[in-house]
Structure formats: C-alpha cells, structure tokens
Amino acid sequence: MVKAYLTNSACYMTGVSANDTLPSNSQGMGMMNLGTAFDGIAHASPATRCPRTFFGATGEVRNHTAFVAVTGQPVRISLAWVDAPGPTSGSSIVNNLNLSVTIGANTYLGHVFTGAHSVTGGTADAVNNLESVFLPAGIGAGTPILITVTAANIAGEGVPGNADTTDQDYALVVYNATPTAVAADPTTTTVTSSVNPVPKLQPVTFTSTTLNATTSNPVTAGTVSFTDGATAICSFVPVNGSGVATCTTSALSAGPHTITANYNGDVGLAGSNGTLNQTVTPIVELAFTSAAVTGDNNRLDPNDCNALSVTVTNNGGATGTLVSAVLQQQHTGRQHQPAQLGLSGPRGGRLRQQSDAVPGVHRQQHGRWIDRELHADVDLQRRRLSVGGQFQFAGRRGGQLCIHGNAIRRDHSGRRDSHSREQRG
C-alpha cells in the first residue's frame, strides 16, 4: 500500500537525462513528492477495505468504481502487489496482474505512457509488480472512473499463511477521486470585462464570480478556465475567498468574441459557466502604395511640376504611415533651389509636413546630390485616404524624384517598427 501511495504522488522530472517517457531507467515513475501525497486532495483506495480483495486463480477480474473529485487536478491510479518469490534465473515474475482504467470512451492500460501521461492503446505490462495510469487535469468532477484489475497469471502464493497456494492480493490508490459520487450543490458563474469594446493589442481583464446557488455564498475552492469560443485563454485559475478568478489577455483579434468562464467544480460543488460578448476594435494599420510615373514624367526639368497620387490603406493593426519625397539631382555645379512638396487630404486625414534638410546644405548619396528631404506624417481618421502630392523642382538643372513609403506600426509604448519600399517617379 505504501509503495502504491508514494508512487502515485511522484513528480515527473524534466531535467538533464530525464524528460522522458514513464516508466524509465532515468527516473522510474518520477521523484517522490510528499507535498502531493498529503495535499488534501481526495484519495480512493477501493482495494484495501475489508473483506480483503485478492485473486485465487488466473483469469479472475475485479472491477472498482470511483468518481473524479476536482476538475482542476490530475487523476492518478496506481496498482501494486507483493509478488510470490520467483526463480533466480530467467524471469522472476510469478503472479502478474494487469491494470485497466476506463473514463468515458477511453481506456488506458497500466504503464502505457507518452511522456508524463498515459495514452490509449498499447499492451499490458507483464514485467512489473507496479502499474499506473496518470491523466492530466481537466476531467470533470463527478465523472465515473471504471478501474479493472485482471489476474493475467496466478502461479504462486502471493498471500502467505492461508491454505491457498496460488493467490495474490493487491493495493489500489486513486488520486483525486472519491469512492462514491458526492452530492454537489449547484453553482452560478458570471463573467465581466474590464474594457468593452477594447482596441486590438490592448490588455483586457475578464473577471468571473462563482456563487453557491443554494446558499448564495461565494465558493472558496475550485478553479475557473476562460475560453474564447473553443480556444483556451487561461486554464484552471484558482478562485479566491470571494469566489473570484481573473484572466488578462491582449491577444484577441479584431472582431466579436464569445468569452466563457467555466467553473470546474470541486468536492460538493457542481460546475457552472458564464459568458459575455466581447468586442475588439481594429486599430489603424496602414499600407503604402503609389501610382507609377512613366515616360517624360520620370524626369523633372527646371521649373517643372509633377503631380503624383499616393494611397494609404488601413489593414487593421497599426497607427500611421510615413510618406517622404526625396529630390535627387545629378549636376556638375552647386546651384540649387529648395524642392517643394505639397500634400492634401481630401477625405479627412490630418497631414503634417516637415523638412529634415536645411536649405543650402547638401549631402551626397550614391553619386547624387540630395537637395532636400520632405516628410509628411499621415494620421488617418478613416480607413482609406488618397493623398495628392505635388512636387516642384525650381533648380537650374534637371533631376529625378523618388517617393519612399514607410509603413509604421506603433505600439503603446511609442516605439516604431518600419518597413520601407521605394517608388521612383
């Protein structure tokens, strides 16, 4: 019994030479963890009651039923027995028992694992006198657990001191289970939002409150899982002394969302859920496009004026775009006049024009002289805005005009990430 109890509460190890599939040569069934062994979660030991449970012949079967106590805790079943003395050569196994656990439509065999948890399928263990089934948290409180122990082979005296020379007893421990279904009080759960609607990428906190529907008192035990439709947001959040659990996220996409807070129940408390409709509004995310300029318009002669059309489009996720015009001159002399840039927003956009260059100060880039750089920050109030740009060169020699578009994304700290492309015009 002690072996089954301590093994049942072992902690799966993930360090160097561990992090493997149970049971293993590196960690056995895991590291002993008395914290789990004595954490107060209900245990069922259906095979240890009087009269004593044992097998007298091969092929006998014993069925035991338990019920999940708490949704937010794992379910663990461990079977152990003291085998009869075996031979010193060859296989030392004399009496072989098999463990099978059925929950709903799934059946798990003892010691068939992937990583830390049991999986369906596989074959029964025939070489150990300890078998376990470990299942993760999430099985609903009150769910029946059918545990089947089968005498695969009884060939020796596993229970000394009686007249039967071929027999075997066993110990069975079930973590997070009760031997009988516990009558559960109904509960009610409501959920609220800290901001509704909320802009995309902004954090929003969902708060659930769960009450005992019989007494109207807040529940003080159990967990709440928050979902967005079928997608988990926060799982198994413990309720506090006021029956409250919270979940904060900033990962919701733009659009409508159905948020559900599922109270998972606890011993004596049934599960319940509450929902709300959360709206996430898009923030401005802009893409830069520019009409191509061809033919003679690609070259600006002195005192020529060329009009270009720039379109800025909202894609749903940032706050601005930067449009810049750069006049590049090829020349032999140093006689220059400032370039001129005019922008207008006919559909309600707010434009701000600024110059990064000082008149009369020139710098050379890739063999060309940049006379002036002019920028316009576009802050859209609507999803789409056509910006007309009229560029005039008043110098004595010709040059080429380049239009640069930088799509900017601003987060709430004010930082920028920019990606640029160039359109010659």
Domain with 355 in it: what CATH number? 2.60.40
Q: Do 219 and 89 share a domain, yes or no?
A: no
Note the pLDDT tens digit of each residue in 320-365: 334 444 443 333 344 444 444 444 333 334 333 333 333 333 333 3
Write the DSSP string, 317-338. Answer: S-SEEEEEEEEEE--SS-----
Note the pLDDT tens digit of each residue in 61-86: 998 989 998 888 899 999 999 999 99
What dihedral do alpha carbons 325, 331, 333, 337 form, nearest 10°?
A: -30
- Statement: residue 148 has pLDDT above 60: yes
| Six-digit token string for 63 | 């069925």
pTM for the model:
0.52
What pLDDT, on a 0 to 100 scale, did the predictor assign at position 16? 87
| Phi, psi at 347, each rounded to 5° | -120, 30
Pairing relation of β-strands 368-379 and 363-365? antiparallel
- Residues 216 and 384: their CA atoms lie apart, in Å, by 52
Q: Do 107 and 125 share a domain, yes or no?
A: yes
What pLDDT, on a 0 to 100 scale, did the predictor assign at position 391? 38
CA angle 342, 346, 351 (to 5 degrees): 50
| C-beta neighbour count of 133 within 10 angstroms | 26
- Residues 216 and 155: their CA atoms lie apart, in Å, by 59
Last residue of a domain, one of 281, 312, 332: 281
What pLDDT, on a 0 to 100 scale, did the predictor assign at position 322? 40
What pLDDT, on a 0 to 100 scale, did the predictor assign at position 283? 64
Of 110, 47, 28, 49, nearest to 76 by C-alpha is 110
The stretch 141-162 carries a mean pLDDT of 91
Of residues 243 and 138, which shows the higher confidence score?
A: 243
Q: What percent of the chain has pLDDT over 70?
A: 64
Note the pLDDT tens digit of each residue in 35-65: 888 888 877 776 554 456 789 999 999 989 8
Q: Do 316 and 347 share a domain, yes or no?
A: yes
| C-beta neighbour count of 400 within 10 angstroms | 16
Of residues 282 and 287, which shows the higher confidence score?
A: 282
Q: What Rg value do the Cα atoms of the chain yield, rounded?
A: 36
Residue 154: CATH number of its domain = 2.60.120.380
- Residues 86 and 67: their CA atoms lie apart, in Å, by 36
Q: Do 132 and 253 share a domain, yes or no?
A: no
- Statement: residue 178 has pLDDT above 70: yes
CA angle 261, 264, 268 (to 5 degrees): 135
The stretch 17-38 carries a mean pLDDT of 91
- Statement: residue 1 has pLDDT above 50: yes
Q: Do 314 and 167 share a domain, yes or no?
A: no
What pLDDT, on a 0 to 100 scale, did the predictor assign at position 46? 64
What pLDDT, on a 0 to 100 scale, did the predictor assign at position 398? 39
The stretch 389-400 carries a mean pLDDT of 38
Residue 272: CATH number of its domain = 2.60.40.10
- Integer angstrom CA distances of residue 280 from 43, 201, 245, 248, 250: 44, 9, 22, 14, 10
**At 181, is the pLDDT very low, low, confident or very high (cuts 50, 70, 90)?**
low
| Six-digit token string for 256 | 């409508």
What pLDDT, on a 0 to 100 scale, did the predictor assign at position 285? 45
Q: Do 112 and 33 share a domain, yes or no?
A: yes
Note the pLDDT tens digit of each residue in 97-138: 999 999 988 999 999 999 999 999 999 999 999 999 999 998
Q: Do 227 and 196 share a domain, yes or no?
A: yes
Last residue of a domain, one of 139, 161, 178: 178
Q: Do 101 and 242 share a domain, yes or no?
A: no
Q: Which residues of 349-381 are buried (b: 16+ CB within 10 A; e: fewer)?
A: beeeeeeebeeeeeeeeeebbbbbbbbbebebe
The stretch 384-396 carries a mean pLDDT of 37
**At 263, is the pLDDT very low, low, confident or very high (cuts 50, 70, 90)?**
very high
Last residue of a domain, one of 231, 247, 281: 281
Q: Do 306 and 382 share a domain, yes or no?
A: yes
| Six-digit token string for 368 | 């060309």
Cα atoms in the Cβ-side hemisphere of radius 13 Å centred on 181: 11
- Integer angstrom CA distances of residue 395 from 121, 134, 357: 82, 81, 16
Surface-to-core class of residue 385, CB atoms within 10 Å of its CB (0-12 exposed, 13-18 middle, 19+ buried): buried
What pLDDT, on a 0 to 100 scale, did the predictor assign at position 204? 97
197 DSSP 8-state letter: S
- Residues 83 and 95: their CA atoms lie apart, in Å, by 6
| Six-digit token string for 230 | 């079928």
- Residues 394 and 372: their CA atoms lie apart, in Å, by 12
| Phi, psi at 34, each rounded to 5° | -70, -20
Of residues 15 and 307, which shows the higher confidence score?
A: 15
Mean pLDDT of the chain: 73
How many domains does one find in the chain?
3
What pLDDT, on a 0 to 100 scale, did the predictor assign at position 300? 47
Q: Do 27 and 150 share a domain, yes or no?
A: yes
**At 259, is the pLDDT very low, low, confident or very high (cuts 50, 70, 90)?**
very high
- Integer angstrom CA distances of residue 205 from 233, 246, 274: 11, 7, 15
| Six-digit token string for 176 | 């997070």
- Strand, coil or helix: what is 422? strand
Q: Do 18 and 158 share a domain, yes or no?
A: yes
Q: What percent of the chain has pLDDT over 90?
A: 45
Q: Which domain, by its residues, includes 14?
A: 2-178
Of 380, 404, 403, 390, nearest to 312 by C-alpha is 380
Q: Do 51 and 78 share a domain, yes or no?
A: yes
| Six-digit token string for 386 | 């056509």
Q: Is 202 left (phi over 0), alpha (psi -120 to 50) or beta?
A: beta
- Residues 373 and 242: their CA atoms lie apart, in Å, by 61
Least confident of 175-184, 190-199, 261-270, 319-328: 319-328
